[in-house]
Amino acid sequence: MKRRGFIMLPGGTAVAWPLAEQVAMPVIGYLDSTVAVGSWYQITGFRQDLNAAGFVKARNVAIECRWVREQLDRLPKRADDPVQRNPAVIATMGASLPHGPRI
């Protein structure tokens, strides 16, 4: 009797394992108005803060990054792809003004 229970346990585990892997990873969208190279410090800090909160890229969260290269008219089209993945949140980085704030 104990032998049958032992044999069924691995079989039951083998069936349950693929079901557990199918859980979708949450998606975080990241939109920036600059270029990727110019904002490396922002995305690095963003990922570090996510890691500190327990969210590690490719382990338990997917991060979709998009840049518009200071062409703000491209923003809606670049945002479409991450939005189609139904993100949990979208983080945006604003454009900096080259000559300081305008009043």
Tell me whether residue 13 is in a domain: no
Backbone angles phi, psi at 58, to 5 degrees: 70, -10
Dihedral sign (CA 84, 52, 31, 78):
negative
pLDDT given at position 36: 78
The domain in which residue 49 lies consists of 24-103
Backbone angles phi, psi at 27, to 5 degrees: -110, 135
Count how many domains the chain has: 1
Tell me whether residue 9 is in a domain: no
Cβ pair 60, 25 in contact under 8 A: yes
pLDDT given at position 54: 95
pLDDT given at position 28: 92
Spatial CA neighbour of 43 closest among 25, 57, 26, 24: 57
Please state, in angstroms and rounded to a whole number, the distance separating the CA atoms of residues 38 and 27: 23
- Region 71-93: what's the mean pLDDT? 83
Spatial CA neighbour of 33 closest among 93, 99, 102, 101: 93
Q: Over pLDDT 70: what percentage of the chain?
A: 68
Tell me whether residue 100 is in a domain: yes
Tell me whether residue 2 is in a domain: no
pLDDT given at position 23: 62
The pTM of the full predicted model, rounded to 2 decimals, is 0.62
